[in-house]
Structure 1
Amino acid sequence: MNEARIVHLVSEDVSVIIVQDDDSLPVILHWGVRLPVEDETLRAFAAAEERPGLEDVSDLPYRASVLPEHSAGWFGRPGVEVQRDGAAWSPRFSIRAVALDGAEMAAGELRTHTGAVTFFAHDAFTEIELELEIDLQSSGLLRTRTRIRNASSSPAPLEVGSVLVSLPIPVRANEALDFTGRWAHERIPQRHPIVHGLHVRESRRGRTGLDATMLVAAGTPGFGSDDGEVWVGHVGFSGNHEHALERTDSALAFRGGELLLPGEVRLRSGEEYVTPWVFGSYGVGLDAASHRFHDFLRARSRSSRRPRPVTLNVWEAVYFDHDEATISALATEASQLGVERFVLDDGWFRGRRDDRAGLGDWTPDPAAWPGGLRPLAEHVRGLGMEFGLWVEPEMINEDSDLARAHPDWILRARPELPALFRFQQVLDLTNPEAYAHILATLDDLIRDVGISYLKWDHNRDLIDAGHPGTGRPAVHEQTTAVYRMLDELRRRHPDLEIESCASGGGRVDLGILERTDRIHPSDSHDPIDRFHILRWTGLLVPPEMLGSHVASAVSSVTGRTHSLPYRCAVAFLGHFGIEWDIRSLAADEREQLAWWVSVHRRFRRLIQDGRPVGGGELDPSGPAMRGIVAADGAAALYTIVTPPVAADTRARVRFSGLDDKRDYRVTVSAPESLGPPWQVPDWIRDAPGIDADDDAGVAFSGAVLRLVGLEFPTFHPERAAIVRLTAAG
């Protein structure tokens, strides 16, 4: 152990202690709370748990490395699964060098560092080279990726079956949280005990998936929004992938990586495979772990550059019934409500009267748009709004000119085409000609029409997604081709913003979010469902990247009817927008909606820059809360919703994230029907509205608000209130 390299990666509140001994792959001894320790203490800790085996030669115990090796005595999932012609299937890697942000680290050296450490290894027998990068961001977000290279001169390719990193978690974290879902109701939470064995969540849909877990959390018993230690794992990839928790003898780890189909990655001599980034976030409470993901995205997304424009999308107003006069009138009405971005959705292109035809033919339909889209775009810009457009570039209808001209541009694993879903197939973007055609078409549209925003949809899973001609699996290359196209469009158009939509929230991961600026969390705008979809998707995605629209009173998905204040309150803490035929608004509805738009615009910088918090998720019979707290603790906004049914008439709501040493003035916007008048407490009934001046409202101690809370009525279901807190003095 004297020759061991010890790396202590640190952020303000997180430590990752990595030991690399002899020539073995590195082991993470600690990932969690920041440890204020001296070098000698670290050395003693690194050596303390060494075990000798039998006479130091037999039964040598194996502590799993970041990429556990079967050849060293690991009987769980191997970190690297490969084979070359049926051999080279059990690699044993030896470290050649270690570098801290590019500077080589000597054997026996101990370093405390903020940044990345890279381990360079090889296996002379299997002729494989490996690079393992472990990076702790200044925010405390941990991420790792692996590069595997076929160093053999053999003509036989090296087939990569899987690369699954192992991020260790203390076994005291014995409760798990993951998610499932379906179309129009994504991110349904599942809490369950962690037991010995492997809990695996695979997605083989060729996109993240409507039912995908998005992330896996392991925590101490009863962990919640602001309490209990939590370790969160996430695979930042938009194709097939795997999240898992692996509980073995005295150990627990998050395992994650890309899920590769048979033969999908076959490396010829000199070729390499680079895994997606796999992320880990530690925190006391889910919110603290969540903030690290938010910081990562806010440092990269164009959504952080400027206030989020209030958006109107025309889909639920007109569906496929496009008419220039009608949609121009919608734009005029939208501008009068304070809308700042107008988005033309599906139905604008050639032959697109329903979802059975037209995908791939990305030119305006002459029947609906005889002069093309430029007149509408100029009308929109003349009203002071930006113009956005819906596209689905990865898909193609069999009934389209593009499919008839290039049937060989459709992914398939067999001579016949895959099963239809939503009447569409998948365009082969791994084909250089198809890729170049779509890229050029989109580039021309953006330039010619003056598009500032693309809503990029993806409405089917990938089934039998093989390379035409060979039938080899194509999901990996299709996913990376989409990434390249998005990167290139953003390079050519530095101000272009892109939304990731996939039948709603079917593609939500850090791979796509590094290249897009917001997501469409769900096709359901029903506020009952939407509140929880926003809360749980918000563990990964910051609020300004969560499209949050007000739709019609009767939900197009669930058929339920809700009041306008309830719908607006639920949508308020996000990238606010409208998806509704506003031509039908009554005068009082128009006035109310314009008020909500104006108030959101007043507070959107707080929503965009603040720290999201949550509460109430452990008690379905109590009120639930989503909030945003300013980074300096000077202001906060909270949306509180009543439960569907409760035996109690009221329950205390604690306002997470506040500064205990400050007093806060309280303003509230709540419906008159929050409960019977005698059930509504004075702090709500007597409070000014949230649009009041900053010095309005009664002041309460931050400690009381955070630790004790205030009673909130639970008498009526399907009610919501916005509470605004402003630091006094």
Structure 2
Amino acid sequence: MTVFHLRAAGVSLVLDTRGDAAYITHWGPDLGDLDPPDGLFTPAVPPSSIDVPLRLSLLPSLAEGWSGRPAIESGHGFRTVETHLHEQTAVIRSASPDATQKVVTELELTGQGVLRVRHRFTNRGHDEFVLPNLDVLLPIPAEASELLDFTGLWSHERSPQRAPLRHGIWSRESRHGRPGHDDAFLMVAGTPGFGFRTGRVWAVHLAWSGDKRIWAERSALGCSVLGAGELTAPGEIRLAPGESYETPWLVAVFSDAGLDGLSDRLHPWIRASSHLRKPRPVVLNTWEAVYFNHDLTVLGQLADAAAEVGVERFVLDDGWFTGRRDDRRALGDWFVDDAVWPQGLHPLISRVHAHGMEFGLWVEPEMISPDSRLATAHPDWILDSGPTWRWQRSLDLTRAYDYLLDRLTALLTEYPIAFLKWDHNRDLLTPGVAHRQTRALYRLLAALKQAFPHVEIESCASGGARIDLGILPLVDRFWTSDTNDPLDRQSIQRWTGVLIPPEYLGGHLGAGTAHVTGRTSALGFRLATALFGSAGIEWNLTAASPAEKAGIAAWIAEHKRLRPLLHSGRVVRADSPDPAHLLHGVVAQDRTHAVYALVTLGTPAAALPPPIRFPGLDPDRSYTVRPIGVPPRTMQDAPPPWLAAGGIMLPGRVLTELGLPAPLLTPEQALLLELS
């Protein structure tokens, strides 16, 4: 046994395998060359404790003196029997004292400094074994004493919440059968007061789309951990002799440059394995434009209007299949409604293609309506027995798998569909089935991807209730939230983007009065908010004025021009002393080009706002700063001279450290600035 020291991109992972168990003795800043002598990482033995030093193994339990939440509920500890290091991956094999239970732990440190950890448990006994929860735990230092995670509601996802890490456990559990609108999403522990640009932070995310738990614990014994794992019901995981269970990957990231430092590791890592092969097309989705009013003439005119402003993908939302005139029936009957579409979808698709646009279609395969032909034919395929949710129930994917694959294959074969908006509009309220349901979903998506590699899939779960790194390899886009209200979207996109790169995050231009909130917003604010990310429209453009259409066309042209930057650059966010002000942007990897948005969410705290300081620039280059897009509304007797002049050139060091005087934007406005 030995000490493994993995290093990448300013991060060190030190794994001590000397002795009976393997211990992570350091995960954080790079330690440089290291040849630790025996005993270097061994702590003192305090009074009234076990009589040997307490060290947290990869599978901590009561058997080794750890009285916190264990990695696995077991009456014994696990002993390391074999270790192996291949490039940047360490493999640790452990066994129970009687060798009937074996665990293989993989720890990989990627070139971007992202740590991935998972366990594989194998039943080596002669009888069936009921596996309790099996989790991954990582130690964090005492300085990481403040927590950030997230909660939320439908149309208000990724709402941040912060608290000190005190003695005990702060645990977040999801029992939705999906991550949920209140998904903890990313649990961050850091130095007190850490922000987007400052502080040391350690963060974990569980790459899993079903039930899960994620937590932080500080023990009075002196240890602190971040942990996560799939949340299974009692008896849900039953292993016959020789069978194995593999945990989801725990994705862990350290940064000494605040939350933006997490993105600086996560986004390049995600992009390194991205299967996106072309620029993200500008989308028009029909939902808030027509809802269930599926009429060829109406939708044809909408397609004409979409093409006129430069849309590249036209997506037909809910209401196209047999009997679906409202949200109370027909889910599961995935046949084109010949009463509404006597010639099928071909006439609409031909019109869309004639304009050079791709065609996309909404589906919700994991759900079934009690009022449907499928429910009548296969009542045993219905999972939920409690209250309906949006007048629907969950469909057992393990039983309906072949039917769903056949129906979706038939649709994708008959029609030239380039995109599926894959929705999931209710929680799974049946205990003990979330594991197999999630695995079946992954298998179904993978089968469709293999059969139709040209078809892109969007993960939508009544908005943003299923955004995670488990499903990401199987989809091409996330629907970030069901709200298109730009005021709410500013926060939702800001926090979702800590983990997910912007090219995956759908953000749409909605109507002047938001359908979800009823709030009315200026066109310029809506355009500036939807510019960043995978841009689209969810608005009945046939009702837009000529001036509005001209503004939208100019916005789409601007987005297409900036798209190579927006979808490949570094995402940066400034910390502001005034919560009414936000500044975020994207900076090219070579720092020659950048776009920023200065946003006012509400009434500023002072008559003169703080200067605009631009993070992420090269201090030794000079930049031209110029406004782009729709000029925001201001309340000022005179603008700052640099803005009145149409721009300015200054060194990056000045723009970052000193900044530029800010204009006096009224609430719910955004100023877009391009730097080159």
TM-score category by the smaller chain?
over 0.9
- The structure-2 alpha-carbon separation of the partners of 1:97 and 1:682, relative to structure 1 and needing over 3 Å to count, comes to same
| Residue of structure 1 equivalent to 2:299 | 327
Tell me, yes or no, if structure 1 residue 274 matches structure 2 residue 235: no
- 3-state SS of the aligned residue for 1:658? coil
Counterpart mapping for 1:43-192 below 5 A: 43-44=36-37, 47-51=39-43, 53=45, 59-81=51-73, 89-101=74-86, 113=87, 115-125=88-98, 127-154=100-127, 157-192=128-163
Task: Name the residue aligned to 2:596.
Answer: 638
Deviation at 1:49, TM superposition (A): 3.4
CA shift in 2, pair 1:329/1:54, >3 Å: closer
| 1:38-88 Cα distance to aligned partner (Å, 9 max, x none) | 43xxx13x6223257599x9611221112212211110011112xxxxxxx
In 1, distance between residues paired with 2:158 and 2:648?
37
What are the within-5 Å matches in structure 2 for residues 664-679 of structure 1? 664-669=623-628, 671-672=630-631, 674-679=633-638
Secondary structure of the residue aligned to 1:179 is strand
Give me the whole-angstrom Cα distance separating, in 2, the residues matched to 1:482 and 1:93: 33
CA distance in 1, matches of 2:75, 2:642: 66
C-alpha change, 1:679 and 1:227, in structure 2 (3 Å) is farther
1:203 equivalent in structure 2:
174
Shift of 1:168: 1.3
Does 1:701 pair with 2:659? no
The offset of 1:173, in angstroms, is 1.3
Separation (CA, whole Å) in 2 of partners of 1:617 and 1:394: 42
Q: Counterpart of 1:12 in structure 2: which amino acid?
A: A
Map 1:353-392 onto structure 2 (within 5 A): 353-392=325-364
Give the RMSD, CA atoms, in angstroms. 1.7
Tell me how far 1:617 sits from its aligned partner.
5.6
Q: Map of 1:245-394 to 2, 5 A cutoff?
A: 245-248=216-219, 249-283=221-255, 284-303=257-276, 305-394=277-366
CA-to-partner distance for each residue in 1:276-326, whole Å, 9 max, x for gaps?
0011011121011123222232233333x2111111001000001101121
Distance 1:553 1:499 in 2: 25
Partner of 1:469: none
User: Does 2:519 align with 1:533?
Assistant: no
Equivalent residue, structure 2, for 1:106: none
SS of the equivalent of 2:261 reads: helix
Does structure 2 conserve the Cα–Cα contact (< 8 Å) formed by 1:91 and 1:126? Answer: no
Which deviations, in whole Å up to 9, do the C-alpha atoms of 1:631-658 show, x marking residues without a partner? 1111111111113122312222221111
What amino acid is aligned across from residue 574 of structure 1 in structure 2?
Answer: G
> What secondary structure, in the 3-state scheme, does the structure 1 residue paired with 2:470 have?
helix
Letter in 2 for 1:289: L
- The residue that corresponds to 1:430 in the other structure is 398
- Specify the alignment match of 1:228 in structure 2: 199
Kept after mapping to 1: 8 A contact 2:635/2:664:
no
Q: Bigger shift: 707-716 or 251-260?
A: 707-716
Q: Distance in 1 between matches of 2:191 and 2:97?
A: 42
- The one-letter amino acid paired with 2:78 is F
In structure 2, C-alpha distance between the alignment counterparts of 1:715 and 1:598, rounded to whole Å = 25
Residues 628 and 673 in structure 2, CA contact (< 8 A), matched pair in contact too: yes
Question: Which residue does 2:455 correspond to in 1?
Answer: 496
Q: What is the aligned partner in structure 1 of residue 505 from structure 2?
A: 546
Query: Given the alignment of the two structures, is residue 593 of structure 1 paired with residue 590 of structure 2, yes or no?
Result: no
Instruction: Work out whether residues 203 and 252 of structure 2, in 8 Å CA contact, stay in contact via their aligned partners in 1.
Output: yes
| Alpha-carbon distance, 1:236 to partner | 0.7
Match of 1:418 among 362, 386, 389: 386
Letter in 2 for 1:710: L
- Tell me the CA shift for residue 367 of structure 1: 1.8
Give the distance between the partners of 1:58 and 1:173, measured in 2 at CA.
26
- 1:648–1:715 CA contact under 8 A, matched in 2: no
Q: Which moved more, 1:60-69 or 1:272-281?
A: 60-69
Whether the 8 Å CA contact 1:148–1:272 is kept in 2: the answer is yes
Distance 1:671-1:19 versus aligned 2 partners, 3 A rule: same
User: Aligned residue for 1:21?
Assistant: 18
- The structural deviation recorded for 1:143 is 0.7
Equivalent position SS for 1:253: strand
Report the alpha carbon displacement of residue 93 of structure 1 after superposing the two structures with TM.
1.3
1:626 pairs, out of 584, 590, 595, with 584
After superposition, the Cα gap between the structure-2 partners of 1:653 and 1:93, relative to the gap in structure 1 and judged at 3 Å, is: same
Deviations 1:104-161 (A, max 9, x none): xxxxxxxxx5x2111111114261011000011111111111100110012xx21122
TM-score, normalising length from structure 1? 0.90
Measure, in 2, the Cα distance between the counterparts of 1:452 and 1:619.
Answer: 44
- Identity, % of aligned positions: 44
**Alignment partner of 1:654 is 2:613:** yes
Whichever residue aligns with residue 192 of structure 1, its letter is A
Following superposition, the deviation at residue 676 of structure 1 comes to 2.9
CA distance in 2, matches of 1:378, 1:396: 30
The structure 2 residue matched to 1:461, chosen from 404, 427, 439, is: 427
Partner of 2:186: 215
Secondary structure of the corresponding residue to residue 221 of structure 1: coil
Partners of 1:527 and 1:143 in 2: CA distance: 35
- Deviation string, structure 1 residues 315-374 (Cα, Å, up to 9, x no partner): 000001101121111111111110001100001111100010010011111122111112
What letter is aligned with 1:78? Answer: P
Go from structure 1 to structure 2 and tell me whether the alpha carbon gap of 1:170 and 1:618 turns closer, same or farther (over 3 Å shift).
farther
Structure 1 stretch displaced more, 30-39 or 392-401: 30-39
Secondary structure of 2:15's partner?
strand
Q: Check the 8 A contact 2:290/2:540 in 1, yes or no.
A: yes
Quick one: distance in 2 between partners of 1:480 and 1:617?
42
Instruction: Provide structure 2 residue ranges, at least 5 long, that are not aligned to the other structure.
Output: none
C-alpha separation in 2, matches of 1:610 and 1:51: 43
Letter in 2 for 1:327: L
Q: TM-score, normalised by structure 2?
A: 0.97
1-structure distance, mates of 2:45, 2:191: 32
Quick one: distance in 2 between partners of 1:246 and 1:679?
53
Once residues 714 and 177 of structure 1 are traced to their aligned partners in structure 2, the CA distance between those partners, rounded to angstroms, is 31
Q: Deviations over 1:473-525 (max 9, x none)?
A: 11100001000111111111112111000010000110011211111111111
Following the alignment from structure 2 to structure 1, what is the Cα–Cα distance between the partners of residues 190 and 530? 29
For structure 1, the residue ranges without an aligned partner over 5 or more in a row are 82-88, 102-112, 466-472, 688-696
> Aligned partners of 2:43, 2:615: CA distance in 1, in Å?
44
